[in-house]
A and B are shown apart, each in its own frame.
Chain A
Amino acid sequence: MNLSESWRFALRGVSANKTRSALTTLGIIIGVASVIILVAVGTGSAKAVEDSISSLGSNTMTVTPTGTQGGGIAGGGGLAGIASLFGGGGAAKTDTGTKTRNPTLTMEDARALTDTTAAPDVIGVAPVVSGQNIVATYEGASHSVPTFSGSTPAYLGINNDTISAGTAFTDADYESHRRVVLLGSTVAEQLVGQDTTALVGQSVSFNGKAFTVVGILGEKGSTGPLDNDDRVIAPATAVQDTLTGYEDLSSISVKASSSDTTASAQDQVTAILDGRHNTTAATRDFSVFNSATILSAATSSNDTFTVLLGAVAAISLLVGGIGVMNIMLVTVTERTREIGIRKAIGAGKGDIVTQFLLEAVILSLLGGVVGVVLGLIGSQFTIVGVVPIVAPYSVVLAFAVALATGLFFGLYPASRAASLRPIDALRYE
């Protein structure tokens, strides 16, 4: 009895009851497809976060106020926005500006960080103020801007921002409190549609205050649900004049001289601010994030996420495997007589084991192949805002586990079939 013969018998066994085989296979299909898709979603979201964080540069950091001392943080541009996603502390997100407490981060703090003797590794500092509940209107069109940042021209360099049309605002604009803005592409599209360059030179009003558009920001894409292009940047002086008042800063963006000096720059920034705020590690009312720490936090949280998704999917694969075993046990019972006949006319234990094991393997193989195909198709669609990235290991793993499942869960029913005594099996009705 050769293997191809056993394959034929097994195939005939599987095709004899097509509905049952299809339903059994479905368990494996769902298991394999969900492993592939869910791991792809996990990988995709991790990749998106990593991309947007590393696009900020590895040598930037953000100082944000923390603790009970208040201070708006809702969006200080890229890094601060992401920082708020990954543990931006207790920063009040809906602070509307009626502050009675001492400001925690001030323009003076920002200025102190530019001290090249106390902070030799810092090459750029930009204070950021954030406008809250800002609505932009232009010729009847209006758009609620989630991120309205006021800063210095240096901010653009620190934040790796580019200008796709028009020009950036200048130090002169900053000094003279000129009411000019740079629009993110999403904001510009919301106001005038596709032809965003037409906005350059036009006057757009924010909460009724007119600002002149001097440029359109280059596109940065999305970080998960966070649209990095749905923002507006203006000189901090003008923003304080018109929208936020002269209270504290929502964050300070800092750039180290290189990625190697980021850690020491972070220490220097922390030391300077500790000195100014009279705080220690225990009482600190601010925190400093650099993209590396955010990246590692994001990566580890994404890894957990991916593992959890994978585990859920693996359980469904296991359930599918139990389905295979269940059906194989039914099949063996149902075909007890057939097993008796085969043994009577000369089938050995090995022949019977092989036949039933192959039936289980065919079921799981079929489920594995269809599951992989469905998984790959399913991964082409954007799922809850995440573009899934198929991880090759998940395909190999899911397929291998499906096969192993068939072998493992087929073994018991097959050996039960093979150990039936022919006279008992023949007598079975």
Chain B
Amino acid sequence: MTTAQRPVIDLTDVTKTYGEGDTVVHALAGVTRRVERGDYVAVMGASGSGKSTLMNIIGCLDSPTAGRYLLDGVDVRHRDDAQLSRIRNRKIGFVFQSFNLIPRTSALSNVELPLAYAGVRAAERRRRALDALTRVGLRDRAGHLPSQLSGGQQQRVAVARAIVTEPVLLLADEPTGALDSHSTAEVLDLFDELSAAGRTLVVITHEDEVAARAKRVLRMRDGVVVEDVRTVAVTDLPPDMGALVEA
């Protein structure tokens, strides 16, 4: 199997339970899904549907109770803390609802951070971080502190930080939840561009507007996937961009 054919995410009957005995909660009750390279998937669901648990497991922030999860062909079960840190660092870029930039630290330093933890040398790190900032259109804000940036700009810095390591998966958790409509459009356009450039995106959201931009939408309820709709093929442009091209 070549790299191109290997699914980025391969979940086989993954379950996650919290608590014991009478108080046991099945946050995930058996999920089997694959996400191919280059796909743009939106995961939707009401709160308590298990989508956050799914995101934690996909993001290697939590481990499944049972089932198998291969991330880019690597089995992430039975990994210790340090190994999971390394896997997250190499394979996943995170974008969070509340941006989660390190305060009092410049945009550039924030973007450099994953590279620093990966052991990349300073000069190389700086070059790649500036590249990533250029791609999100914030090269001129490199020296600004998070507190000096708007919400949309902060989220774009977070996206730059997520893509700077060239991860196989970009994982976004409610990326527009804290943004106004203008900033939301900015970030979603950026996602479209990244998808068009061949990146694999998984976006957890409860907003239809966000889901509409994805190539494929998963709906979750009570810990299982209840709907899996593909809008456009994995290899096509995301719906909005495709529409623009056709028009």
Q: Which residues of A contact B (CB under 8 A)?
A: 1-2, 5, 12, 16, 337-338, 340-351, 421-423, 426
* CA A343 to CA B62, docked complex, whole Å: 12
Q: In the assembly, what is the distance between CA of A338 and CA of B104, in Å?
A: 11
Whether the pair A12, B61 counts as a contact (CB closer than 8 A) is: no
A422-B61 contact, Cβ under 8 Å, with A2-B119, A345-B88, A346-B117: yes
Once the chains bind, are A351 and B102 in contact (CB under 8 Å)?
Answer: no
User: In chain A, what residue has the closest Cβ to B173?
Assistant: A426
What are some 18 contacts across the A-B interface (CB < 8 A)?
Answer: A1-B116, A12-B105, A16-B103, A337-B100, A341-B100, A344-B59, A344-B88, A344-B100, A345-B113, A345-B161, A346-B85, A346-B114, A348-B81, A349-B85, A422-B61, A423-B56, A423-B61, A426-B96
Among residues of B, the one whose C-beta sits closest to the C-beta of A13 is B104
What are the interface flags for B146-168 relative to A under an 8 Å C-beta threshold, 1 for contact and 0 otherwise?
00000000000000010001000
Question: A395 CA to B244 CA in the complex, in Å?
Answer: 74
Are A349 and B81 in contact, CB atoms less than 8 angstroms apart? Answer: yes
Instruction: Name the A residues within 8 Å of B88 (CB-CB).
Output: 344-346
Are A1 and B82 in contact, with the CB atoms below 8 A? no
**Which residues in B have their C-beta under 8 angstroms from that of A350?**
82
A346→B101 CA distance, assembly (Å): 14
Contacts of A337 in B (CB 8 A): 100
Known: A337-B100, A338-B103, A423-B62. A345 touches B114 (CB 8 A): yes
| B109 → A minimal CB distance (Å) | 9
> Could you give, for residues 86-113 of chain B, a 1 whenever the CB lies within 8 Å of some chain A CB and a 0 otherwise?
1011100010100011111100000001
Q: A346-B85, A348-B86, A350-B82 are in contact. Are A338 and B102 (CB under 8 A)?
A: yes
- Tell me if B118 counts as interface (CB < 8 A to partner A): yes
Residues of B within 8 A of A422 (CB): 61
Chain B residues at the A interface, C-beta cutoff of 8 Å:
56, 59, 61-62, 81-82, 85-86, 88-90, 94, 96, 100-105, 113-114, 116-119, 161, 165
> Which of A340, A344, A423 has its CB near the most chain B CB atoms (within 10 A)?
A344
Give bound CA distance, A348 to B165, whole Å: 16
Chain B residues lying within 8 Å of A2, measured Cβ to Cβ, are 119
Contact B94 A345, beta carbon cutoff 8 Å: yes
Whole-angstrom distance from the CB of B239 to the nearest CB of chain A? 29
A423 to B52 CA separation, bound complex (whole angstroms): 10
Q: Is the CB of B89 within 8 A of A346?
A: yes
Check if B61 sits within 8 Å of A346, measured CB to CB: no
Interfacial chain B residues near A342, Cβ < 8 Å: 102, 113, 117
Structural contact, A348 and B82, CB atoms closer than 8 A:
yes
Chain B residue with Cβ nearest A344: B94
| A426-B85 contact in complex given A1-B116, A345-B113, A345-B161, C-beta closer than 8 Å | no
Complex partner residue of A345 from B104, B105, B117, B119, CB under 8 angstroms: B117
| Chain A residues whose C-beta falls within 8 Å of the C-beta of B105 in the assembled complex | 12
Nearest B residue (CB) for A422 = B61
Nearest B residue to A429, CB-CB: B98
> Please, how many angstroms separate the alpha-carbon atoms of A421 and B89 in the complex?
16
Q: Is there an interface contact between A341 and B104, defined as CB atoms closer than 8 Å?
A: no
Chain A residues contacting B103 (CB-CB under 8 Å) are 16, 338
